Amino acid sequence: MNSVSLPLCDRCLEVCDPQAAGCLAMGRLECGQRAFIAGYREQEDMAVCRRLFDLGFAQGVEVQLIRRAPMRDPLVFQVGGGEMLLRRQDADRIVVRVV
Amino acid sequence: MVGNPNAGKSTLFNALTGLNVKVGNYPGVTVSRHTGTTSLADQTVLLEDLPGSYSLDPISPDEELIAEILESGSPLRPDALLVVLDATSLQRSLGLLAQVQQLGIPTLAVLTFSDELARRQGSVDLTRLSQAVGNKLMVVTAGNRAQLYDLKLALTEPETWPAPPVPAPTEPRHVTGWITSVLRSAGYQAPAVDDRTRRLDAVLLHPVAGTLIFFVTMALFFQVIFAVAAPLQGAVEAIFGRLAELVRAHVGVGWLSGLLADGLIGGVGGVLVFLPQIALLFAMITVLEATGYMARVAFLMDRVMGRAGLEGRAFVAMLSSVACAVPGIMATRTLPSARDRLATMMTAPLMTCSARLPVYTLLIGLLVPPGARLGPIGLQGLVMFGLYLLGAVAAMTAAWVFKHVLKGKGPALPFYMEMPSYRMPGLRELGRAVWDACASFVRRVGGIILVMSLLIWALLSLPVASHDEMAAAGIDLDDQVAVAAFQLDQSAAAAVGKTIQPIFEPLGFDWRITVGLVGAMGAREVFVATISQVSSAENPDDPGATLAEMTWLSGPHAGDRLFTPGVVAALLIYFAFALQCTSTIATLRRESGSWKWPAIAFGYMTGLAWVSAWLVKLLVEALLG
């Protein structure tokens, strides 16, 4: 850790419960379904969530599940003008609100 | 230079530096370091292409490296930074720029892919974008020399680059707001969904058609490195064989002609023989990467490779290793995570490479009679297939173990990658990738291979047996095979073979086999030649016939058959697992950046080989009574 990364590691993300009304873990979307990012599932180490945020999965952003691989994992999401491939377990760290 | 992966950073780096590039490793880690120079008038700028990254918030050891380099007081800290922004995913690129602004280093933003943005009906006002972020902003489209010249000019005077009055925020809520306001004031029109890419993906990623196309592509890929490279390699070998013959014919002194012909010319040939495979492999990998199909390979294979703890892209490196582990290990450069890269390169040599084929053919011939069948399938072919399968399973299992050993602290790293739009690869880019791979192989690995092959030549041919000694031993000097056999018997390699023989005693290997194993360190297929020399095979084209008759010369087994089914099976398994290839060791050294990893690989593979060979020998002997 140093002066470059320390303030970035201190960043705080909005925690959200996937069980809340109207909410869903992002990996459980249907193909073609659109949703808005509500927050991130509470976990001990938020480093992976901070990276997902830096990838463009920010709170309030619209995402769409484009396709699943033949064995249902990994997943491709449309986000911020591009397509991003995530594994199901990482996608499930994000909580979305279905439109 | 910093920027997202796929933002066109490497293309820009290559365009700026031309061929003035040095590729090395950062001290102590398996991350390649690219540096190069660019000159304008009398000014020279040293450029460093930092590994592609989405964030300065490190979640892996490789990314901590970037943070350390940029730390104030770091000896590697640059005087100025180029941040590459991809116009088609400006939102994400701006997040990185916001983090870079915190560093207090003069920063210049370069916007790439603005042509792609226009093609997909997007737009952005450059002057207002530059004002909104507070940095100097320049546009560079691939192949535009005027823009490149302007950028070079700007690079020589970083003191004139404006800095934003206040750096952008980094708290999630605030940075999202900052990005939104920057995009709004720059009138950013996001690109439309890329129709061409969507239509292609509908076919190429279709559960049935896509999987089929994938297998056909990979079969072709494999066929090219295996079949197309083979005649080229044959030609290289033939040329060096001719050269060696010329030397032997014209240099009278026996040991000198041996040193020149077998040691030096053989060694140089042994380096160059890899070039056709490396060139073809990197040409194909570049096409896969540049067109965007590599990301689709990762998508389709991720689940399978995930079983071994690896990611989808490791599949290409593993597949290449079936031709040869040397280009296979080099292909791990496409893996962004150092941990995955190490796990892949440490286990790729277990895949059945083409050098094992002649050895397998010889040994299977001894083990299974040619006509034997299991139902409609020939048993010889079945054993061969089993050995290929064994190699693949062993590699995947070992990769899984390595991933767990290397796991270290912290959460499991997430796997993510952008699915880029399909693009046509440029010819320059292709030529450059092939040139870089071949040049770095010859420069960095060639020397080690040359030294090792000289060493093995010396072991096999020194001390030189004199004619008097041969006459005293009753060797007919005109019988070349007998002379070669006598020379080998007197050589340092034989001494080594006899010394290490007790280690291999439980496997049933006598010293003639262990000499063969020493000789095979240069290249596995040499085993066939060495073993036929030791056994004074009258017919070098069919050493199998003589070998089957070979018996123990001395010791408690004297007179017993040497190549019993148990011993042959043990040898097969030994060859399947042992790291008996100095070129692979040299390549591991080069790609991992230290001797530690090749030493570990040699240790674990030899140990695995010994134990499995011993178990298989016991098993075969128990089965056959």
Q: What is the pLDDT of residue B411?
A: 58
CB contact A15 to B (< 8 Å): no
Q: Which helix (H) or strand (E) holds A34?
A: strand A34-40
pLDDT confidence bin for B182, thresholds 50/70/90: very high
Nearest CA-CA distance, residue B392 and chain A, Å: 21
Tokens representing B545 are: 């016939």
Average pLDDT, integer, range B450-468: 78
Average pLDDT, integer, range B188-195: 89
Q: What is the pLDDT of residue B456?
A: 78
pLDDT digits (tens, 9 = 90+) for B305-339: 988 888 888 888 888 888 788 888 988 987 878 88
Nearest CA-CA distance, residue B393 and chain A, Å: 20
Question: In this structure, how many other beta carbons lie within 10 angstroms of the beta carbon of residue B506?
Answer: 13
A51:B417 CB<8 A = no
C-alpha of B72 from chain center: 35
A7:B59 CB<8 A = no
Residue type, position B607, single letter:
G
Q: What is the pLDDT of residue B432?
A: 86
Measured CA to CA, the distance from residue B500 to residue B516 in angstroms comes to 12
Average pLDDT, integer, range B222-249: 86
CB contact A2 to B (< 8 Å): yes
Average pLDDT, integer, range B203-224: 89
Measured CA to CA, the distance from residue B137 to residue B615 in angstroms comes to 66
Checking if the pLDDT of B497 tops 80, the result is yes
B553, β-bridge pairs: none
Measured CA to CA, the distance from residue B576 to residue B44 in angstroms comes to 51
Q: Torsions phi, psi of A95, nearest 5? A: -105, 130
pLDDT confidence bin for A35, thresholds 50/70/90: very high
B489: closest CA among B525, B536, B527?
A: B536
Average pLDDT, integer, range B492-501: 85
H-only helix segments in B424-564:
427-440, 446-461, 467-472, 480-490, 492-504, 511-519, 526-534, 543-549
Measured CA to CA, the distance from residue B383 to residue B360 in angstroms comes to 9
Measured CA to CA, the distance from residue B289 to residue A9 in angstroms comes to 32
pLDDT digits (tens, 9 = 90+) for B337-392: 888 889 999 999 999 988 888 788 888 888 888 778 887 888 888 888 899 899 99
Of the ranges A70-74, B61-65, B360-364, which one carries the lowest mean pLDDT score? B61-65
Residue type, position B457, single letter:
W
Checking if the pLDDT of B488 tops 60, the result is yes
pLDDT digits (tens, 9 = 90+) for B260-304: 887 788 878 878 888 888 899 889 888 988 898 988 998 999 998
Checking if the pLDDT of B407 tops 60, the result is yes
Nearest CA-CA distance, residue A97 and chain B, Å: 18
pLDDT digits (tens, 9 = 90+) for B513-568: 888 888 787 778 778 777 766 665 445 555 566 777 777 766 677 778 888 889 99
Torsion of CA B406, B409, B414, B417, to 10 degrees: -60
Half-sphere exposure of B317 (CA within 13 A, CB side): 29
Checking if the pLDDT of A27 tops 90, the result is yes
Residue A15 carries which DSSP code? B
- Helix B356-367 crosses helix B526-534 at what angle (to 10 degrees)? 50
Of the ranges B12-16, B40-44, B241-245, which one carries the lowest mean pLDDT score? B40-44
Checking if the pLDDT of A13 tops 60, the result is yes
**How far does chain A reach from its first CA to its final CA, in angstroms?**
40
Query: Nearest-5° angle of CA A14, CA A20, CA A26?
Result: 65
Complex confidence, ipTM: 0.94
B415:A74 CB<8 A = yes
H-only helix segments in B90-168:
90-101, 114-119, 126-133, 145-155
Nearest CA-CA distance, residue A16 and chain B, Å: 15
Q: What is the pLDDT of residue B566?
A: 92
Nearest to A81 among B58, B88, B99 (CB): B88
Mean pLDDT of chain B: 86
Output Rg (C-alpha) for chain A, integer angstroms.
14
CB contact A6 to B (< 8 Å): no
Checking if the pLDDT of B218 tops 90, the result is no
The answer to whether B91 touches A56, Cβ cutoff 8 Å, is yes
Of the ranges A69-73, B51-55, B123-127, B464-468, which one carries the lowest mean pLDDT score? B464-468
**Per-range mean pLDDT, top range of A90-94, B71-75, B249-253, B283-287:** A90-94
C-alpha of B26 from chain center: 18
The answer to whether B256 touches B408, Cβ cutoff 8 Å, is no
CB contact A56 to B (< 8 Å): yes
Between strands B416-419 and A82-86, the pairing is antiparallel
Measured CA to CA, the distance from residue B242 to residue B248 in angstroms comes to 10
Tokens representing A31 are: 């193909």
Measured CA to CA, the distance from residue B429 to residue B94 in angstroms comes to 27
Cis-peptide, bond into residue B463, ω within 30° of zero: yes
B349: closest CA among B523, B77, B605?
A: B605
Instruction: Tell the burial category of B317 from Cβ atoms under 10 Å away from its Cβ (0-12, 13-18, 19+).
Output: buried
3-state secondary structure of B417: strand
Size of chain A in residues? 99
Q: What is the pLDDT of residue B534?
A: 63
CB contact A19 to B (< 8 Å): no
B91:A81 CB<8 A = yes
**How far does chain B reach from its first CA to its final CA, in angstroms?**
68
Q: What is the pLDDT of residue B489?
A: 76
Measured CA to CA, the distance from residue B322 to residue B351 in angstroms comes to 6
Q: What is the pLDDT of residue B391?
A: 94
A-facing residues of B in 94-123 (CB < 8 A) are 95-96, 99, 102-103, 122
- Judge if pTM exceeds 0.90: no
Of the ranges B342-351, B498-507, B529-538, B607-616, which one carries the lowest mean pLDDT score? B529-538
Between strands B2-3 and B21-25, the pairing is unpaired
